[in-house]
Amino acid sequence: MAKRTTLYRYLTGPDDAAFCHRVTEALSQGWSLYGQPTLTFDAAQGRVICGQAITKDVDVPYTLYKWDVGDYESCVAGIAKVEAELGPVDVLVNNAGITRDGMFHKMTRDQWDAVINTNLNSLFNMTRPVWEGMRARKFGRVICISSINGQKGQMGQVNYSAAKAGDIGFVKALAQEGARAGITVNAICPGYIATEMVKAIDPAVIEKSILPHIPVGRLGEPEEIARAVVFLAGPDAGFITGSTLSANGGQYMA
């Protein structure tokens, strides 16, 4: 099977580096049917923590590109450069996300706009430039990382919950448009994952206020989300589209 080019977008930081590392490991191990993958990363805000982590620990070829996923013209130019240097993008993983939490009666317009632009508008900005090529080649995989809070809502995260719910609507509508062209579009909704951010919470709070709400009794691992990405990107998931994969340990069953 032909080599596929994966464009994986993220915002860099300790959690993103860890998750990106796990996705890279999973792709390098799980994509044997595709041959050695070329992994292409773009980092909003221009930092390369994730790329450094991969270079150190993972023996898989990748190329690092940087642009602002919240700016459409930057995405168009960046993706054009990727495709000129590496070939067409066959798999797009939309993972960039930020939080600007606050109760709604105190939330500012800047908090709202920042989250909606990065977490929701960026789906259009990144997917639209690769969509026509996927349609022409009759193959594509678009995977959007949403959130449990896009499914159930979360107090103090009206902006984040609205954006992540919008991700799911984006997936369901676009999947219908792409199906006849061999393009699948799916969402993954993680729950509490053992990232650096979550592990920084007081262990007593995790034990008393978080774990009791997770039926499996533990946090998820980044590897578990990474392997869900690999599955949806691979050839065995060709009949799955418009779906939401909930990876939350049973905390919320949609």
184-223 pLDDT per residue, tens: 999 999 999 987 767 878 899 999 999 999 999 999 998 8
Q: Is the pLDDT of residue 26 over 60?
A: no
- Please report which confidence band the pLDDT of residue 133 belongs to, taking 50, 70 and 90 as the band edges: very high
Q: Is the pLDDT of residue 42 over 50?
A: no
Q: Is the pLDDT of residue 33 over 90?
A: no
- Residues 165-183: what's their mean pLDDT? 98
Query: For the chain, where are the E strands, in sequence order?
Result: 5-11, 38-44, 62-65, 91-94, 140-145, 183-190, 244-247
- Please report which confidence band the pLDDT of residue 4 belongs to, taking 50, 70 and 90 as the band edges: low
Catalytic residues: 160
pLDDT at 28: 53
pLDDT at 52: 44
Q: What is the 3-state secondary structure (H, E, C) of 130-156?
A: HHHHHHHHCCEEEEEECCHHHHHCCCC
- Residues 19-27: what's their mean pLDDT? 59
pLDDT at 213: 96
Token pair 């639209």 is found at: 128
At position 44, the amino acid (one-letter code) is A
Closest CA relative to residue 6, chosen from 232, 243, 169: 232
SS3 at position 188: strand
Name the average pLDDT for the chain. Answer: 82
pLDDT at 48: 35
pLDDT at 195: 78
Please classify residue 223 by burial: count the beta carbons closer than 10 Å to its beta carbon, then call 0-12 exposed, 13-18 middle and 19+ buried.
middle
20 versus 12: the higher-pLDDT residue is 20
pLDDT at 232: 92
Between CA 132 and CA 126 the distance in angstroms is 12
Token pair 């799911």 is found at: 168
Angstrom CA distances, 139 to 43, 134, 158, 178, 249, stand at 25, 5, 35, 9, 32
SS3 at position 6: strand
Q: Is the pLDDT of residue 63 over 90?
A: no
